[in-house]
Amino acid sequence: MVGPVTGLHKQRSSHSNTQSNQLQSPYLIVRSNYNILLLSDHFADIKRMNREIMNRCWWCEGDPLYMAYHDEEWGVPLHDDRLLFEFLILEGAQAGLSWLTILKKRENFRKAFDDFDCQKIAAYSEKEVQQLLANKGIIRNRLKINSAIKNAKAVLKIKAEFGSLDSYLWSFVDGTPIQNEFASREEVPASTELSDFMSKELKKRGLNFVGSTICYAFLQATGMVNDHVTNCDRYEEIKALS
């Protein structure tokens, strides 16, 4: 009798454990997800604390959007054609305004300008221009809007000649970011001989709103020059990316 009873006990035990596991599974999943959420919140808190105590370049302090842009984007070497074109257009749109103003409108710009697809923008007609002029979410300046269309056409020619916008633009720094060592805001230039040269070359190719100051801001933003001041925590991090 021992054998069959033991076997029956094992079967019942196995069945019982299965039921128990089935009953526990949803709980374990919920518990697991809860722990993941707690862990995620914990890392988010650490990230927030790090942001609060880190040393930054002077220009971004005081606005969370500005600080996030500084901490995550500004100066990171950029090689994506679409994003490079986006920065060219947005830097031009900034003329006479603050970069923070542009950052606050960036998502609106992306939607309005077909996610900065230069092929689509190059085909814009007066109909699209009028739609953009009526769009309160962007900078409604006809000269800047027309410039974006003209620049898109010029960029298509550059891509056809050089294979990519990335190859052409990075040739201005021979493919390697320039590592400056500025200790204070007073040392950081608004333009350089390099940006002067870049501006002239871009204008020769038919681009507008690409003055020397705009070009230098573009070089800084896309990581072609590292202009984080040396006491900024991002300086060495950006340098390491090169």
CATH of the domain at 147: 1.10.340.30
pLDDT at 39: 55
173-214 pLDDT, tens digit per residue, is: 999 999 999 999 999 999 999 999 999 999 999 999 999 999
Q: Is 236 one of the catalytic residues?
A: no
43 and 93: one domain? no
CA distance 27 to 45: 27
1 and 48: one domain? yes
User: Smallest Cα–Cα separation from 73: which of 237, 232, 222, 226?
Assistant: 222
User: Smallest Cα–Cα separation from 222: which of 18, 75, 116?
Assistant: 75
DSSP state of 63: -
Identify the domain boundary among 53, 77, 95: 53
Query: Residues 59, 73, 99, 237: which is the catalytic one?
Result: 99
79 and 3: one domain? no
Q: In this predicted model, which residue has the larger pLDDT, 197 or 13?
A: 197
Residue 15 lies in domain: 1-53
33 and 144: one domain? no
80 and 27: one domain? no
35 and 132: one domain? no
> What's the mean pLDDT when you consider all of the chain?
86
Half-sphere exposure of 184 (CA within 13 A, CB side): 2
Query: Residues 59, 69, 73, 201: which is the catalytic one?
Result: 69
Whether 7 has a pLDDT exceeding 80, the answer reads no
Query: Residues 91, 168, 170, 235: which is the catalytic one?
Result: 91
47 and 83: one domain? no
The CA distances from residue 8 to 1, 18, 64, in Å, are 11, 15, 66
Domain count, the chain: 2
Whole-model pTM above 0.95? Answer: no
Identify the domain boundary among 11, 31, 53: 53
1 and 49: one domain? yes
25 and 82: one domain? no
Residue 15 banded pLDDT, cuts 50, 70, 90: very low
100 and 44: one domain? no
CA distance 220 to 201: 18
pLDDT at 197: 98
Task: Name 59's Cβ contacts closer than 8 Å, sequence gap at least 6.
Answer: 66, 70, 185
82 and 32: one domain? no
Q: Is 59 one of the catalytic residues?
A: no
55-65 pLDDT, tens digit per residue, is: 999 999 889 99
108-150 pLDDT, tens digit per residue, is: 999 999 999 999 999 999 999 999 999 999 999 999 999 999 9
63 and 49: one domain? no
Identify the domain boundary among 36, 53, 70: 53
Which SS3 state, helix, strand or coil, does residue 143 take?
Answer: helix
Q: Is 170 one of the catalytic residues?
A: no
